[in-house]
Amino acid sequence: MLVRKLSWYIAKSVIGSIFMVMLVIVSLDAISALVSELGELGGNYDFVEAMVYVLLTLPSSVYGNIPFSSLVGCLIGLGLLASSSELVVMRAAGVSISQITWAVMKPILVFIGFGLFLGEYITPLTDQLAESRRAIALGDTRALESRHGLWNREGNEFMHFNAVLPNGKLYGVTRYKFDDEGQLETSSFADTAIYQREHWIEESGKETVFSEQGTEVHEFTLRKWETELSPDLLNILVLPPDGLSVQSLFSYSKYLTQQGLESKEYRLAFWQKLLQPFITASLVLIAVSFIFGPLREVTMGFRVFTGVVVGIVFRTVQDLLGPASLVFGFPPLVAVGLPMLFCFGIGILLLRRAN
């Protein structure tokens, strides 16, 4: 009964600290993103649209900062208990370090589960909606006039879409079709395209046909477009690898491998997302081991500083090993798992010494 009450007391301290750290970090991210978007204002993309864009990208910010917030939050939460000698009293009452560690890990599992839900079901949709609204509001027209959007190739045809909505609607569809000798045959632009029964319907567009005699321009209100592209595939292509769900990353990297195309970037993102719960747990273990080891009697400010430094070093190592795996060819799993295993090893070693 005593251990259960103490576990709940520790959990409340840790949860409150993590929420506080998360609020600060996400707020700073949002302010930074908003300032960056102010330089893109133009057309229908006004301050309100920029605010909407930043708000739609907040779930991604929360998801990406869960490991770092858990690390610093645990250092603060346990540090408060250590500064008031409450951890000493708990140890004197017979509560072991392993029990305290488990009491810290239990609320972390809630954050991990919340992060999995965000990464799989929320952030892919909100990120795509944010990018689509932004592209539409900026008012880009043809591909060569646009700084945003998505390029795709299918055979001898190159396509550009200014915006891709999750419901299977495209805005600003530009298509360039070449012959086998690389000569441009046709180019067309349609305001929108809607997916209907395994094909697309282009709306309100023009097509230019190039021949030896000259060029001919045809306007159309509706036109059927047969292509292997589907809304599901476009939903994957429109986002960077780190914005996709684990399921999408796995299926698309498998598809690229089957087609004989390079899939390392998507496999790297797959392992980063799949192992994020274990990465969070490894950083929390480091935080607990520091409280019972090197940071047992230091000030709160120094604990926060240490957490920030450890988080930055961990992120930097990951950012270096990830691209290095793409360049030098070693498995992405090694690039993602090595820093995590190192943190687990250091944490376990320090906790054994504390015992």
How far is 113 from 277, CA to CA, in rounded Å? 8
pLDDT cut 70: percent of the chain above it: 95
Q: Which residues contact 250 (CB under 8 A, 6 or more apart)?
A: 270
User: Which residues on neighbouring strands pair with residue 218, listed in sequence order?
Assistant: 207
Q: pLDDT tens, 303-313?
A: 778 888 888 89
How far is 10 from 77, CA to CA, in rounded Å? 8
Residue keyed to tokens 């250092």: 75
Q: Which helix (H) or strand (E) segment is 37 a member of?
A: helix 2-38
Q: Which residues contact 183 (CB under 8 A, 6 or more apart)?
A: 210
Model confidence at 295: pLDDT above 80: no
Q: pLDDT tens, 147-165?
A: 567 787 777 888 888 878 7
pLDDT-based confidence at 226, cuts 50/70/90? confident
Judge whether 160 and 150 are in contact, CB under 8 Å: yes
pLDDT of residue 1: 61
How far is 238 from 257, CA to CA, in rounded Å? 19
Global pTM reads 0.82
pLDDT-based confidence at 2, cuts 50/70/90? low
pLDDT-based confidence at 143, cuts 50/70/90? very low
Q: pLDDT tens, 16-71?
A: 999 999 999 999 999 999 999 888 887 778 889 899 999 999 999 999 999 999 99
The more confidently predicted of residues 202 and 136 is 202
How far is 244 from 256, CA to CA, in rounded Å? 15
The full length of the chain comes to 355
pLDDT-based confidence at 139, cuts 50/70/90? low
Mean pLDDT (whole number) for 247-271: 82
What does the buried/exposed string (b/e) look like for 37-70 if buried means 16 or more CB atoms within 10 Å of the residue's CB?
beebeeeebeeebbeebbebbbbbbbbbbbbbbb
| φ/ψ of residue 132, rounded to 5 | -70, -50
